[in-house]
Amino acid sequence: MGIFKKIFSSGSKIVDNGTFKERVAFKFDKILKGEKVVAPKYETEKKAYEDVMKNDEIKKEIEIKHETLVENMNKFNIKSSEVIENSKSSRQLPTRETETEHKNDPTWEYFFYEPPKEQMLPNRLTLREALEFLRTKYETTQVKPGSQDRLTELEKCLSEHDTAKRIDREKLDQIWKYFRPFARSDQQKVVKKLDLAYLQDVMHGKIDDKGFFDIGKQDPRTPKTVDGREKARILEVEEIKKLENKEDKSQND
Does the structure show a pLDDT above 50 at 221? no
Does the structure show a pLDDT above 60 at 16? no
| Residue pLDDT, tens place only, 86-107 | 666 666 666 777 767 766 776 6
Does the structure show a pLDDT above 50 at 8? no
Q: Is 133 exposed, middle or buried (0-12, 13-18, 19+ CB in 10 A)?
A: buried
| Residue pLDDT, tens place only, 130-152 | 888 888 888 888 888 888 888 88
Cα gap 200→194, rounded to integer Å: 10
The SS3 call for residue 23 is: helix
Cα gap 35→25, rounded to integer Å: 14
Residue 75: CA count within 13 A, CB half-sphere: 6
How many C-beta atoms surround the C-beta of residue 162 within 10 A? 14
Does the structure show a pLDDT above 80 at 57? yes
Report pTM.
0.35
